[in-house]
Amino acid sequence: MSQPSDRYLVISSDCHAGLPGAKYRDWVDPEYREMFDVAFPMQQSEVERLTRKFMPDEFKAAWRRDTGDGWHGAWDSAERNRQLDGDGIAGEVIFPDGVNDGNLPPFGAGLTLPPEVPSDLIWAGAKAHNRWIAGFCQEEPKRRAGMAVIPMAHDPVRAVEEIRWARANGLRGVFIGPLWGKHEPYHSPVYEPVWSVCEELDMPINIHGGAAPTEDYGDHPGNIGIFITEVAWWSTRPAWFLIWSGVFERHPKLKFVITELGASWVPELKALMDQRFEANHFTAKLAPYRTELTMKPSEYFDRNIWVGASVTSRVDVEMRHKIGVDRMMWGSDFPHPEGAWPYTRKFMAESFHDIPDADVRQMLGLTAAKVYGFDVEALAPLVARIGPRAEDLSLPAAERHVAAAR
Amino acid sequence: MSQPSDRYLVISSDCHAGLPGAKYRDWVDPEYREMFDVAFPMQQSEVERLTRKFMPDEFKAAWRRDTGDGWHGAWDSAERNRQLDGDGIAGEVIFPDGVNDGNLPPFGAGLTLPPEVPSDLIWAGAKAHNRWIAGFCQEEPKRRAGMAVIPMAHDPVRAVEEIRWARANGLRGVFIGPLWGKHEPYHSPVYEPVWSVCEELDMPINIHGGAAPTEDYGDHPGNIGIFITEVAWWSTRPAWFLIWSGVFERHPKLKFVITELGASWVPELKALMDQRFEANHFTAKLAPYRTELTMKPSEYFDRNIWVGASVTSRVDVEMRHKIGVDRMMWGSDFPHPEGAWPYTRKFMAESFHDIPDADVRQMLGLTAAKVYGFDVEALAPLVARIGPRAEDLSLPAAERHVAAAR
């Protein structure tokens, strides 16, 4: 390991990038550009309406004041490098939705499964983003691992083609949404070829928190509280669909990552599934349902599933042995306002200040390097220049920032 | 307190009763009997199909062999008393679906929200069950607290009328299902009159585990594993809808009970909601969403919500101080095969053998007495005759039964 001993390799398992919405036009296949011109203003005004509703203007203004033009790093390569350097981040896993405000991929790209958008348009939007992000990552291939947007519920066959295209063009994983309602559930046989190609090409599959069936809520001021109480559950749900249906049994090398939801839910979920797996008084009356599995559910979890524990909280770090030190990956969520940027060292200090060095290295970078295939040797010179030092993580308590637990 | 000191008052917070399906005909309003004659054979064959699919014949046969005709206690008053006496249970809270196999109320009564059944029929079925269970409870008014089936999502106005009828006819709480999809969510203003009448009449509202949107699953052998992993979540979900939308703020005396799902999920849920409630880095960007609340979410939980921790597991008992000793109620789930009957003392011994006496009394009976309004004095002679003794709860380890944790 050529990491300089006084610097940490930091790979953010959770960053975002995206063009200002209108600029995606050039990346859309020509036959969809006319439709883009119709749809874009509608999409934009809907995003603005929602942003105004859920993120107060005063908060946004204050935050922009604090962070200057740094958020242009969502699409500006040089600005992005400056901001990541400043935060001490050498490598990053890049999801869409760059600035949490107006740069969704065209037609929504299926990110939140708006049910009324035709599948063709959703795919056109996903491909536009994938083309752009592939080029953006090729500008910094050692640092940037882009995730391809794969709205596979809208066409699993096309998903396989797009994943092959993504891999050939340097993208390093796939991003799928949580799922409910009218699409085929993720343990449906129609997705088997998708799992196969991801396993074959070593493309980790990522669920990233943020979507829940808010159409269940009606319109109520308490909805935000409901949403932030249950949103993590919706993104973890695919894990038990895949485990129980034997997807990881059939695809032992498949990597599945659940990001931006903390990690404190992991021990309880593993214990719950194992308890349900064991023959006991509660399950005795049930028909055979363990037929797809040769191991306990928690063993699939510990082999095939990782957690992108963005802005890893102190609570999560203290639970690391129950969660798995090698399952948890730190992330900055750049450039989202609920993330660590531009105060990454202050958040790290709060969570890691007294944790053994080997564990810190694992959670800050080494696990992500393994999951997403970063070349640690190639990043070493950059780490030597920008990586945080042990003293950065030893800030006095008064100078640290506290990340939201859970 | 006139309880004899060497006997425990046991109130099962979770028992079931229901007529053999065909016998419900006489309890259905005359104008729906013709429809009953058409629907009943279909419902029966569907229940039989599902029972065969999810509960193997061999299990059922063995279980019937072990328990004899005791399951006739689902509708036979004398048999029921014999079985409850044998288990040492003085009082009971009674839900529908007596034998987990073929005695659902007519037309399903909305218990699992089959979306295609017209609301009028669902209500006709609920009313038929309520009439029958009211009479059944009046045979043993000190022992039996019947829950009225209230498919309120199908008509909140009718729900208010039916709750008044139920109270006037001796029923002691209402049973509602979990909710998803096309109906108004439980924090909708349309249900305000329902919460008001339940608060006014001191009728606890009960969600009882058992339903999940299995229509999301497709057809897969792993589905049972998925179902038993997430079913508890679906029945706990209404709790955070009601808390965040201020239902308990507006109805401070409303009682809400979540039954047959264990209790180990309580501390994490309370901590999660309180974390979401606090102003912190994660929630800073969000529009105001705490406007309905004057207390922390956990404080509403600790005031308004109870947990029917059926066949309370050792894990739940060990967590009792985090859950709330006065929040957890033991239950036998009679006459379901996953319940404690007819081995109640053996299950109790496993979970309670070394727990302080005051805590045991709280969890086995005193909390349920308070929540559902049992007359403890009136039950004392029965307790003196049938209640378990401290020595019953001190069975050697080899003779105890282990309840499923979580």
B403 inside 8 A of chain A by CB: yes
Token pair for B238 = 């209404």
pLDDT of residue B1: 45
* Six-digit token string for A107: 């037609």
Average pLDDT over residues B126-146: 98
pLDDT reported for residue B2? 44
pLDDT above 70 coverage of chain B, percent: 97
Q: CA A129, CA A156: separation in Å to the nearest integer?
A: 18
Query: Distance (Å) from the C-alpha of residue A58 to the closest C-alpha of chain B?
Result: 9
Of A10 and B179, the structure prediction assigns the larger pLDDT to A10
Task: Answer for the pair A17, A81: CB distance below 8 angstroms, yes or no.
Answer: no
Residue A30 distance to chain B (closest CA, Å): 36
C-alpha distances in Å from residue B156, one per residue of A131, B105, B159, B176, B236? 52, 20, 5, 12, 21
Structural contact between residues A107 and A121, judged by C-beta atoms closer than 8 angstroms? yes
Instruction: Give B96 to chain A, closest Cα distance, Å.
Output: 19
The DSSP output letter for B303 is H
Residue A282 lies inside a defined structural domain of this protein = yes
CA–CA dist A8, A301 (Å, integer): 27
Report if residue A331 sits inside a domain: yes
Instruction: Identify the pLDDT of residue A1.
Output: 45
User: Is B275 in Cβ contact with A404 (below 8 Å)?
Assistant: yes
Is residue B305 in a domain? Answer: yes
Query: CB B287 to CB A181 under 8 A?
Result: no
Cβ neighbours around A229 below 10 Å, total: 23
For residues A307 and A301, the answer to whether their CB atoms sit within 8 Å is no
* Pairwise CB contact (< 8 Å): A402 & B280: yes
Peptide bond into B41 cis (omega under 30): no
Q: Closest-CA residue in chain A for B402?
A: A281
**Tell me, what amino acid is at B69?**
D
Chain B CB contacts of A265 under 8 Å are 268
Q: CA nearest B313 in A: which residue?
A: A282
Instruction: Single out the residue of A275, A269, A254 nearest to residue A319, CA to CA.
Output: A269
DSSP letter, residue A25: G
pLDDT confidence of residue A112: 65
Beta-strand ranges (E) seen in B107-211 are: 144-149, 173-176, 205-208
Cis peptide before A213 (omega within 30 of 0): no
Q: Is A40 on the interface with B (CB under 8 A)?
A: no
Structure tokens at B263: 């209790």
Rounded Cα distance between B369 and A143, Å, is 63
Q: What distance in Å separates residue B35's CA from the closest CA in chain A?
A: 31
Q: How far is A357 from chain B (nearest CA, A)?
A: 26
The answer as to whether A6 is a domain residue is no
When pLDDT is averaged across residues B307-316 and rounded to a whole number, the result is: 94
Closest to B247 measured CA to CA, from B301, B309, B172: B301
Q: Which residue from B32, B169, B183, B62 is spatially nearest to B112, judged by alpha carbons?
A: B183
Kindly report the nearest CA distance between residue B205 and chain A, in angstroms: 20
B59 touches chain A (CB under 8 A): yes
Start-to-end CA span in chain A (Å): 33
Record: contact A226-B244, CB cut-off 8 A = yes
Digit-coded pLDDT (tens) for A239-280: 999 999 999 999 999 999 999 888 999 999 999 999 999 888
Q: Which burial class, exposed, middle or buried, applies to B170 when counting CB atoms under 10 A from its CB (0-12, 13-18, 19+)?
A: middle
pLDDT for the residue numbered A307: 97
Question: A63: nearest CA in chain B?
Answer: B285
A with B: how many residue pairs have Cβ under 8 Å apart? Answer: 181
- Residue at A27 is within a domain: yes
What is each CA distance from A48 to A45, A123, A360, in whole angstroms? 5, 23, 39
Cα A134 to Cα A140: distance, rounded to the nearest angstrom: 10
Q: How far is CA B11 from the centre of its chain?
A: 13
Portion 301-360 of B in contact with A at CB < 8 A: 311, 337-338
Q: Provide the residue count of chain A.
A: 406
Please identify among residues 230-289 of chain A the ones whose CB lies closer than 8 Å to any CB of chain B: 230, 233, 237, 240-241, 243-246, 264-265, 268, 271-273, 275-277, 280-289
| CATH number for B194 | 3.20.20.140
Contact B222 A245 (CB under 8 A): yes
Tokens of B264: 């180990």
Number of domains, chain A: 1
Q: Do B401 and A281 touch (CB under 8 A)?
A: yes
In a domain, B29, yes or no: yes
Closest CB to B221: pick one of A184, A273, A289.
A289
How far B171 CA lies from chain A's nearest CA (Å)?
Answer: 29
Residue A132: the pLDDT is 98
Q: List the beta bridge partners of residue A154.
A: none
At B140 the pLDDT is 98
The two structure tokens encoding residue A156? 């699993």
Instruction: State how far residue A288 is from chain B, nearest Cα, in angstroms.
Output: 8
Q: How far does CA B344 lie from the centroid of its chain?
A: 18
* Residue B113 belongs to domain spanning: 11-399
Q: Cβ contact (<8 Å) for B404 and A184? A: no
B-contacting residues of A 176-235, CB under 8 Å? 180-181, 184-185, 187-188, 213, 216-218, 220-226, 228-230, 233
Cβ contact (<8 Å) for B221 and A288?
yes
> Collapsing DSSP states into helix, strand and coil, what is residue A245?
coil
Res A363: pLDDT: 98
In a domain, B3, yes or no: no
Q: Which residues contact B405 (CB under 8 A, 6 or more apart)?
A: A271, A275, B262, B264, B313, B314, B315, B316
Q: Do A281 and B405 touch (CB under 8 A)?
A: no
Is there a contact between B402 and A216 if contact means CB atoms under 8 Å apart?
no
Residue A97: its pLDDT value, please? 87
What is the average per-residue pLDDT within B247-255? 98
> Which of A221, A240, A271 is facing B292, going by the closest CB pair?
A221
DSSP assignment letter at A389? B
pLDDT band at B158 (very low <50, low <70, confident <90, very high): very high
| Residue whose C-alpha is closest to residue B109's, from B196, B211, B199 | B211
Q: Calculate the average pLDDT of chain B.
A: 92
pLDDT recorded at residue B279: 80
Chain B residue numbers touching A285 (CB-CB < 8 A): 55, 59-60, 63, 337-338
Q: Which residues contact A189 (CB under 8 A, 6 or more apart)?
A: none
Yes or no, beta carbons of A185 and B56 under 8 Å apart: no
Give the DSSP per-residue string, B68-127.
GGGGGGGT-HHHHHHHHHHHT--EEEEES-TTSSS-PPGGGGGTT--TTS-HHHHHHHHH
pLDDT of residue A2: 44
DSSP A11: E
> Is A405 part of any domain?
no
Which residues of chain A does B60 touch, with a Cβ-Cβ cutoff of 8 Å? 285
Q: Tell me whether residue B69 is exposed, middle or buried, using C-beta atoms within 10 angstroms of its C-beta: 0 to 12, 13 to 18, 19 or more.
A: exposed
Decide the pairing of beta strands A173-176 and B256-259: unpaired
List residues bridging with A92 in a β-sheet.
A12, A144
- With a cut of 70, say whether residue B276 has pLDDT above it: yes
Give, for all 406 residues of chain A, the pLDDT tens digit. 444 568 999 999 999 999 999 999 999 999 999 999 999 998 888 888 888 888 888 888 888 898 999 999 999 999 999 999 999 999 999 999 877 677 889 988 888 655 578 899 999 999 999 999 999 999 999 999 999 999 999 999 999 999 999 999 999 999 998 777 778 888 899 999 999 999 999 999 999 988 888 888 888 878 899 999 999 999 999 999 999 999 999 999 999 999 988 899 999 999 999 999 988 887 888 888 888 899 999 999 999 999 999 999 999 999 999 999 999 999 999 999 889 999 999 999 999 999 999 999 999 999 999 999 999 999 999 999 999 999 999 999 988 888 765 5
CB spacing of B281 vs A220 below 8 angstroms: no
CB B261, CB A385: distance < 8 Å: no
